[in-house]
Chain A
Amino acid sequence: MNSKLTNRLATGMFWLVGLGILAILAWFLWHILSAGLPHISWKFLTKKPEEMLSGGGIGPQLFNSFYILALSLLFSIPFGVGAGIWLSEYAKKNRFTDLVRLATEMLASVPSIVFGLFGLLVFVTTLHMGYSIIGGALTLSLLNLPVLVRVTEETLRAVPDSYREASLALGATKWQTIRKVLLPTALPGLVTGITLVAGRALGESAILIFTAGVSVSRFAPDFNVMASGETLAVHLWYVRSEGLVPDATQIAEGTAALLVLVVLILNLVIALPSRFLQRKMAGKSS
């Protein structure tokens, strides 16, 4: 009798904790969006920021965020996917493979601020890039790499061996098998992984403060990679802790809501088209 009562109490407690966790998450989301969404307007999204007056926008920061993200993916995807392919398809069980695995795992655990200081030391100072979009993008790509390696390896391993055997039996070389069979089959998983990486890179701030800087170029969309490139996340931190504008709180809240919206959209993007791609790629084409 006693143990049955305890069991019922425990079940109640578990429900309470589960609902409590959901409630915290829901409150968090509601808090950010309800505070920030009213501040978002077309003007806010496109206008340049102000130094001293209120009413500044976040146009250049929005542009820089996606520009730096695109560059960092451009730098990291070839290496990350290449290393993932090697680990999944070529690597034999030996010391070198163990070392690559350990190094990737270690790289994944590096705190982002350490990446930031590394970028400051190597790209900004030693290679004389200064606080620039290119310095930020290069450092950010180091953060992307370990996740890309892991995702590529996992998705390729999930492809059944019969695919490889069939392709090799038709006389294809290993590279042809990878390019024409394995990568297309693994594409949905890769896209999901890259979207995850993109979301993380978009919200990163500790790295970019020390590499892309906390100011924006005088020109609105500045494609010059040597220009300084403050991003949305950095701007949010900067206006709230060092900014002089009187409407810092509103700008910060609007930026936060925008960042959360982008993360929400990316999560939806992960869920939807990967299923569509799966059907298309695994079915008839290529």
Chain B
Amino acid sequence: MDIAIKETHDDRCASAPPSWNNRRRRADRMMHWLFIGSAAFVSLIIFSIILFVGSQGLKTFADVSVLQFFSLDWTPSENKFGAGVFILGSFIVTGLALVLAVPFAVLGAVFMSKIAPNWMREIMRPATDLFVGIPSVVYGLVGLTTFVPIVGKLTGTAGFGVLPAALILAIMILPTILSVSEDAIRTLPGSLEEASYALGATRWQTIRKVLIPAATPGILTGVILGMGRAIGEAMAVQMVIGNAPLLPKGLGDPTSVLTTQIVKEMLNAPFGSTLSNSLFLMSLVLLLVSLSLILIIRIVARRRAV
């Protein structure tokens, strides 16, 4: 939406003295520069984050080879800094959370936009908004006090591990995926739905064959946003995952992901040590994954526009 108003450079006003006009014009120009300055400043931050965190992280490679860093052996006391376990762990836990959350979120989004009566919608919308705002440590505490004992009883272990982490992440990302998908379905042109009904399709057929395929780019955006939130979540996961630098063999096994390992070791790692540097490198990996998710969303959105 471009505004078709040109700046009036020649805004001389017959009644006002010239000095007043000059001051006005100077203030106008100064604010313009202040606004550009803030925009430039905000843009600069992300690049300085990449630069600072990246350069600190890359110092790891002075002591550890690239291959070693991506290996599966994390034993800092023996100078083995293989972060492969955590990278894999991040993707395993996030994938599991998505498997648990996406079906519910998409069905819930269809329900909210097409089936629910108005009063139900009036409850669901603020409720999902509220749940986006609940602090992650609170999710972690609930996971710790409810999911961990249940999983422990089911698997006969201490209960800390992949499954409670994925469950708590699934609840955390459900509102995000739900509200973005709901938006995508609600904003579809009504003619699509009408055409389908006119052909004699039932509501279920319309939803399955017309609405969900048409809203797929939007739903995908929601899923990727949820994935970004899940992979970057630290505190809630750290409280329930067990924090063992091992690959999990089953759903009840403790493991560690990128974020939780950083939380666990950073406070005790002397600044500048290889351990500290490798944690910075792990956060760089995390950052690059998140940024590539943004690029994917952009590509999906472009396809949606065509």
Contacts and interface: CB of A to CB of B under 8 A. Distances in A.
Contacts of A125: 271
A214 B267 contact: yes
Interface residues of A, number: 98
A20 B120 CA distance: 13
Contacts, number: 270
A20 to B, nearest CB: 7
A202 to B, nearest CB: 7
A85 B31 CA distance: 10
Interface string B113-133: 001100010011011111101
B127 A25 contact: yes
Interface of B: 1-5, 7-8, 11, 13, 24-25, 27-28, 31-32, 34-49, 52-53, 56, 104, 107-108, 110-112, 115-116, 120, 123-124, 126-131, 133-138, 140-142, 144-146, 171, 174, 178, 202-205, 207-208, 228, 231-235, 238-239, 259, 262-263, 266-267, 271, 279-280, 283, 286-287, 290-291, 293-294
Interface string A1-40: 0011011011101110110111011001101100100000
A110 interface: yes
B38 A241 contact: no
Given A20-B104, A109-B294, A117 B283 contact: yes
A28 B204 CA distance: 31
24 contacts: A3-B202, A11-B204, A18-B112, A22-B123, A82-B35, A82-B39, A83-B41, A86-B35, A100-B43, A103-B45, A109-B293, A121-B56, A142-B49, A161-B5, A173-B8, A173-B24, A202-B135, A203-B135, A205-B135, A205-B235, A206-B136, A249-B145, A256-B138, A259-B135
A11 to B, nearest CB: 7
Contact of A79 (B8, B38, B48): B38
Interface of A: 3-4, 6-7, 9-11, 13-15, 17-18, 20-22, 24-25, 28-29, 31-32, 35, 78-83, 85-87, 89-91, 93, 99-100, 103-107, 109-115, 117-118, 120-122, 125, 142, 145-146, 149, 157, 161, 164-165, 168, 171, 173-176, 178, 196, 199-200, 202-206, 209-210, 214, 233-234, 236-237, 240-241, 249, 252-253, 256, 259-260, 263-264, 266-267, 271
